Structure 1
């Protein structure tokens, strides 16, 4: 049975394929691309359908813990990979309805009858799942009948209640005994769409006027940051194609200014893809930037972003922890080390991270962070500044690392920096007791950690 591309059934089937990809270890953006290819969706002609598949997949992955627990309660035998994921997509929609969100205008709400009917149609349309259409119908109808009891049962399981792996919750409890529940709840909130205004071209006030003229509401939330009241596709954002603005979280916008660049400096942006911070550095001063990225495909995105901004940098495909393979021997005035990490601070934008990351990854990442910074330190001129950045909220990747660097790096002087930024909050007290730059920090941002070190002259 062929399903119309604009039907919920077709879109649920695509989302189920993407969700299955995450379950098998694929990052959600790639899993969505794989599902679109499998469904033969043209990027331009089927843009609306691709967008709907993406929305459904993201909704489901945000509630992965709850939906998986429900499927376990409702199905006595494993129903098969794709059927399992289709049930998860349908249950995620029904859960939103239970929470009062599904009927809100503009949120893509569907009645319970529609969700069940379309899930059954989706199952019936595929040879691999057609045998399970009766099962899908029975499971979803049972959920609707026994919802209260089922939700009480699965809520006893922490992973189902918080939609976070148990080890992740342990990390939060240990690090933030008074805030862990708020942080756990924050991962499933929808993040704001924040823009970085290129103030070398247009002021924030002028851009806010431009937004208003386009019928879009925005608020200044940082020196160059504007938060949109409602998210829009970037193609619709005024000035985006021309390079007047870039999409960048307000917390991430602190990195480039903390480098304190000035004209004529040589700056290294290590682990630079996709190039947001590279572009920001170049907007702040007339400098020479070397951007290093280990992945060739991600390095290509740096070129794309800089081309849109009308900027140039020396982009090198190389390993930041092996500078002997790419360094020309000339030291840098500034080094921005935005190192690989757990990405625990950006989960609300990337909900698959919590399910793809493993507790054993943390130790490996800590060692990699130390290796990168230790190898980059000799590349810094005396008097130069290195900025250490992670998009993590785990202290093992933040303050504990900064203390290790301060003890291990020769001639390192620790400078004032924001320290740990938690999602949606301003910076806490830094190690020195100062809320570094707190007055200028935005009020809603992702989780980041910042530390700065100067090499003694």
Structure 2
């Protein structure tokens, strides 16, 4: 249930809207970058200073950058206007090639590409908007584009389809982007990918520019609803079965919006000092509705703040904060955080157990364990090690008062933050994750003291990974039972046999958590 889940390669990655669920990206190598000028883009809502593309000559030097010199004037002919692709769009186009094909999240890839291209702040914001926006709206845009192509989107090479969707997104969803820039630069990207499709790309985008998106006439039923919601058909069917069509629409709409930035203060720093420093840096802080000690943070470029670089605060969604608080450890408790990376929940637990308690934080992966160790290095009462919880507790550890198992899962609950996840998952991934979750839960539960409590959580809402895992566990382990947290206004409102959170009703990521007690 962490943000570090990886997608499957090429599964569920459909390409058009003709009754298929999957849209493929491209593995093409688009390592050419355009000019270092920028659109002056400041976002999609009420921001100013946008400029379109420049009429640069499209010749490249050996590094892949344009020379930007005008065409020779001594020919007696007027120079031909060739649109150079702006750095932001070039980087976005490159990043989107891994929308379906790669395991890694898009955002780290985008950050690396933006740094390599030395994007300005404005260009970086535009590239970020384009990548996340296209990822969210891909299914919907492809379905509408399919209406305008006589042979459908399946007839296009992946790179050309990507350029077409990139242009359509700007025309439909970014009202501050000049239409000619969206069209001309997308046409250039398509031409670079396959010149045969230059004309059709230009024609389709001009139609959208003049008339907007067409009605969806080729789809019906669940396929049409999936296109309208820009989610995979299998997900739509599963959600309707789980919570009904109206709630499915509400969750999908919330998934297609940007997530808020929720934070907690470092346990090692005086909270008042952190609060004052953030205010001095121009931040707005609003206490979260349910998670005690958490805040909603609003500030320009939050990760450039010196307080963040000094690790005075860290990012953690409200649902994730609540999962750690649900364990309710007491000062002096022995606690095991089984799948602890990246460490946000461990920090919350350390707040609660105080210096008298002891925390074991483990993770399966070496890199994540090393990063976890660095993050928790300031605490003397924590042990960090690389370990597979499916094999039980590490050597030297036997029983714990409290265990938190935030299990690896399909991560469908964090679609707001990682919109590409929806296109990388299918029901097989869900079932495979549930099998691993059962093994983990059965292994770590044996290390819980009698009278102790264990919280099982996942950042998803599929029945296979939530209620079915718990029901099977309780049948196999009769010495465990579902427990309720202490009575207070938060748990009285949110906890009903389990914690079920979603972005539509709670403004948080989708999380499921249940509290179990060992009775004998």
Counterpart position of 1:197? 265
Structure 1 residue 216 corresponds to structure 2 residue 283: yes
CA–CA distance in structure 2, aligned partners of residues 341 and 417 of structure 1: 24
Q: Determine the structure 2 residue equivalent to 1:320.
A: 389
Q: 1:217/1:242 Cα in 2 relative to 1: closer, same or farther (>3 Å)?
A: same
Aligned to 1:423: none
1:166 correspondence with 2:166: no
Structure 2 unaligned segments of length 5 or more: list them.
Answer: 1-31, 40-84, 487-491
Whole-angstrom distance in 2 between the partners of 1:54 and 1:191: 14
Q: How many residues align?
A: 423
**Alignment-derived partner of residue 271 in structure 1:** 339
Matched, 1:431 2:462: no
Take 1:51 and 1:301, find their aligned partners in 2: how far apart are those partners? 27
Asked if residue 118 in structure 1 is aligned to residue 188 in structure 2, the reply is no
Verify the 8 A CA contact 2:96 2:106 in the aligned structure 1: no
Q: What is the CA deviation profile of residues 262-304 of structure 1, one whole-angstrom value per residue up to 9, with x for unaligned ones?
A: 3443221112111111222223222322222122222233134
SS of equivalent residue, structure 1 residue 110: coil
Equivalent residue for 2:510? 447
Bigger Cα displacement from structure 2, 168-177 vs 288-297: 288-297
Match of 2:166 among 83, 89, 99: 89
Give the deviation of 1:57 after TM superposition.
Answer: 0.9
Question: Residues 228 and 270 from structure 1, CA distance in 2 versus in 1: closer, same or farther, beyond 3 angstroms?
Answer: same
SS in 1 for 2:295: strand
The equivalences for 1:120-139 within 5 A come to 120-124=187-191, 126=192, 128-130=193-195, 132-139=197-204
1:282, 1:311 within 8 Å by CA — same for their partners in 2?
Answer: no
Task: Tell me the TM-score normalized by structure 1.
Answer: 0.82
In the TM superposition, residue 192 of structure 1 has moved relative to its aligned partner by 0.6
Answer yes or no: is the 8 Å Cα contact 1:154–1:160 preserved in 2. Answer: no
Distance 2:392 2:402 in 1: 15
Structure 1 stretches lacking a partner, 5+ long: 97-101, 104-108, 419-425
Deviation per CA, 1:338-389: give whole Å up to 9, x if none.
0112222211111111110111122222221111100111111222211111
Match of residue 99 from structure 1: none
Q: 1:273 touches 1:293 (CA, 8 Å); kept in 2?
A: yes
The answer on whether the counterparts of 1:338 and 1:390 sit within 8 Å (CA) in structure 2 is yes
d(CA) in 2 for partners of 1:111 and 1:316?
52
Is 1:362 matched with 2:425? no
SS in 2 for 1:393: coil
Cα distance between partner residues in 2 of 1:25 and 1:78: 23
What's the CA shift for 1:27?
3.5
Give, in angstroms, the shift of residue 312 of structure 1: 6.7
In the TM superposition, residue 207 of structure 1 has moved relative to its aligned partner by: 4.5
The answer to whether the 8 Å contact 1:282/1:289 transfers is yes
Does structure 2 conserve the Cα–Cα contact (< 8 Å) formed by 1:417 and 1:430? Answer: no
DSSP 3-state at the match of 2:241 = helix
- 1:40-439 matches, within 5 Å, as 41-42=115-116, 45-46=118-119, 48=121, 49-75=123-149, 76=151, 78-96=155-173, 102-103=174-175, 109-124=176-191, 126=192, 128-130=193-195, 132-148=197-213, 150-153=214-217, 157-177=224-244, 178-198=246-266, 201-203=269-271, 207-221=274-288, 222-230=291-299, 232-236=301-305, 239-284=307-352, 285-286=354-355, 287-307=357-377, 313-323=382-392, 326-417=394-485, 430-431=496-497
Any conservation in 1 of the 2:34–2:90 contact (CA below 8 Å)? no
C-alpha spacing 1:46/1:11, structure 2 compared with 1 (3 Å): closer
Equivalent-residue separation in structure 2 for 1:273 and 1:119 (angstroms): 39
Q: In 1, distance between residues paired with 2:406 and 2:286?
A: 27
1:14 aligns with 2:82: no
C-alpha change, 1:329 and 1:152, in structure 2 (3 Å) is closer
158-167 vs 190-199, greater mean Cα deviation: 190-199
In structure 1, distance between residues paired with 2:339 and 2:387:
9
CA RMSD of aligned residues (A): 3.1
Q: Does the C-alpha gap of structure 1 residues 217 and 88 become closer, same or farther in structure 2, counting only changes over 3 Å?
A: same
Of stretches 364-373 and 7-16 in structure 1, the one that deviates more from structure 2 is 7-16
CA shift in 2, pair 1:198/1:337, >3 Å:
same
Q: Secondary structure at the match of 1:243?
A: coil
Distance change in 2, residues 1:361/1:46 (3 Å): same
- The one of the two structures with greater contact order (alpha-carbon pairs below 8 A, sep at least 6) is 2
TM-score calculated relative to the size of structure 2: 0.73
| Native 8 Å contact 2:278 2:307 kept in 1 | no
Q: Distance in 2 between matches of 1:170 and 1:415?
A: 32
Residues 31/252 of structure 1: CA separation in 2 closer, same or farther (3 Å cut): closer
In the TM superposition, what whole-angstrom CA distance separates every residue of 1:9-43 from its partner, at most 9, and x where no partner exists? Answer: 3322322222221222434337725972xx8x438
**Contact 1:251-1:445 within 8 A present in 2 as well:** yes
Q: CA contact under 8 A between 2:403 and 2:448: conserved in structure 1? A: yes
Local SS of the residue matching 1:85: helix
Q: Deviations over 1:139-159 (max 9, x none)?
A: 2112223425x1444785222
State which structure, 1 or 2, has the greater radius of gyration over its C-alpha atoms.
Answer: 2
